[in-house]
A and B are shown apart, each in its own frame.
Chain A
Amino acid sequence: MKKLVGAFMFATLVLVACGGRSVSIADIEPLEPTNPDAIQALLADSEQPVVLNVWASWCGPCRSEAPLLRAANEEFGQQVRFIGVDVRDSQDGARTFIAEFGLNGFRHFFDRDGAVPAALRGFGVPLTFFFAPGGELVHLHNGVIDERTLALQIDELLQR
């Protein structure tokens, strides 16, 4: 029994030590600063639905939903535009976060003061906004988003 438990723990440590989906931080460019007007213009000009995720490297729940957003971008990235907005953070922290979770598949902006989510009437972190083409807000999800909710809201965008 002890050998079995020991083997299990060793296997777990090996799995944990194995590389995940991370990329090299050197491959991550500094995030482009943004503001509410720029984001509103980007949303208005978008011909695709947009999923806008507000996150921060210091945000624990953001860490947990990051893999879901990466998976969603991999599956729906041709039909839906994914955007990340990093708030109240540092460039190093943001780049490290993006590198750790392999989120370089979609564009991220840097919002030092957190003005963007406030302008979109969202509070706290994380937030996930779902916009129809042209910038109409379809849904705002507060807090950690789970797989089912993310899949449902993306499907709502695609059904419109």
Chain B
Amino acid sequence: MEFTLLGSVAIAVVIMYGVLLFEGGRTNAADCTKDVWDALIAAVVVGVVIGRLTAMISAGTSPLSHPGDILIVRAGVDTIAASVAAVATYSFVTRNDPWWLADAAAPAAIAGLAGWHGGCIVRDACLGTPSDLPWAVAQTGSLVSRHPVEIYTALLLLVTAGLTIWWKLHRPRPGVVAALGVASVATARLVTEPLRLGLGGDLLWWYTIALVTALAVLALRLRRNTEKSRHPI
């Protein structure tokens, strides 16, 4: 079953790279594709590792005595720790030109997330709470139709990725696109979280914090004077 998880990861990575290649020379500087790609991959790897370690420690498993358990990602990755670690890693790697490189990465990162959610088809993990809507889907052998919540999320994120590319065409101030992208992703998760099944508490509070933070950053970036990028298009 771990191979289906790898399938979803592969879809996410391919889409992420595809968007970066598309944007190179169009809405991103041609010479920043490699830098952004390297930073994104580093962020993804660090985020997953930290998220996995956090999930293990929270569950009472010592990563020092059972290091192999780190690889069993399917058993759970702490979303908050993973997202914080990924953002922190990306910010650190791109610290010499943070806002422009954040804008450069935003569409690819969001499209990659969309690919991860859409990869639910491979993992057979698309369904959420019961629904009577015409497009609701029942799993094989079941009479209960359900929201294809992961498909909803994937579609919302694809739209968001497209919007961030469109916004970049209007040459907004540095950081605006990234902030709008984070706000849109948080909104997409807030909207779909009630339709998602899980154990324990939900993450609505976390996505709300992300949304508020992104909007605050957006407001701050809109107030600053125009800055020159080291990666002009």
Hey, which bits of chain A sit against chain B, CB under 8 A? 12-13, 15-17, 19-22, 60-61, 63-68, 71-72, 75, 100-102, 138-139, 142-144, 146-152, 155-156, 159
- Measured between beta carbons, the chain A residues less than 8 angstroms from B72 are 60-61, 63-64, 144
- Measured between beta carbons, the chain B residues less than 8 angstroms from A72 are 199
Secondary structure at the B interface, as helix, strand, loop or mixed, is loop
In angstroms, Cα B197 to Cα A156, docked, is 11
- Measured between beta carbons, the chain B residues less than 8 angstroms from A139 are 141
Partner of A21, one of B59, B141, B146, B197: B59
Report if B61 contacts A (CB, 8 A): yes
Q: A15-B57, A144-B2, A151-B198 are in contact. Are A64 and B125 (CB under 8 A)?
A: no
Q: A22-B60, A61-B75, A67-B60 are in contact. Are A147 and B127 (CB under 8 A)?
A: no
Report if B172 contacts A (CB, 8 A): no
Partner of B75, one of A16, A21, A146: A146
Partner of B60, one of A21, A75, A143, A144: A21
In angstroms, Cα B82 to Cα A59, docked, is 26
Report if B18 contacts A (CB, 8 A): no
Nearest chain B residue, comparing its CB with the CB of A148: B125
Most buried by B among A19, A63, A102: A63
- Measured between beta carbons, the chain A residues less than 8 angstroms from B125 are 146, 148-149, 152
The total of interchain contacts (Cβ-Cβ below 8 angstroms) comes to 97
Q: Decide if B66 touches A75 in the complex (CB within 8 Å).
A: no
- Measured between beta carbons, the chain A residues less than 8 angstroms from B60 are 19-22, 67, 100-102
Q: Decide if B69 touches A71 in the complex (CB within 8 Å).
A: no
Q: Decide if B66 touches A16 in the complex (CB within 8 Å).
A: no
Mark B126-142 against chain A: 1 for CB-CB distance below 8 A, else 0.
Answer: 01111000000001011
Q: How far is the CB of A86 from chain B (nearest CB, A)?
A: 18
| 12 pairs, CB–CB < 8 Å, chain A vs chain B | A13-B64, A20-B59, A20-B62, A60-B69, A61-B75, A64-B61, A64-B75, A67-B58, A67-B60, A100-B61, A101-B59, A144-B1
- Measured between beta carbons, the chain A residues less than 8 angstroms from B59 are 20-21, 66-67, 101
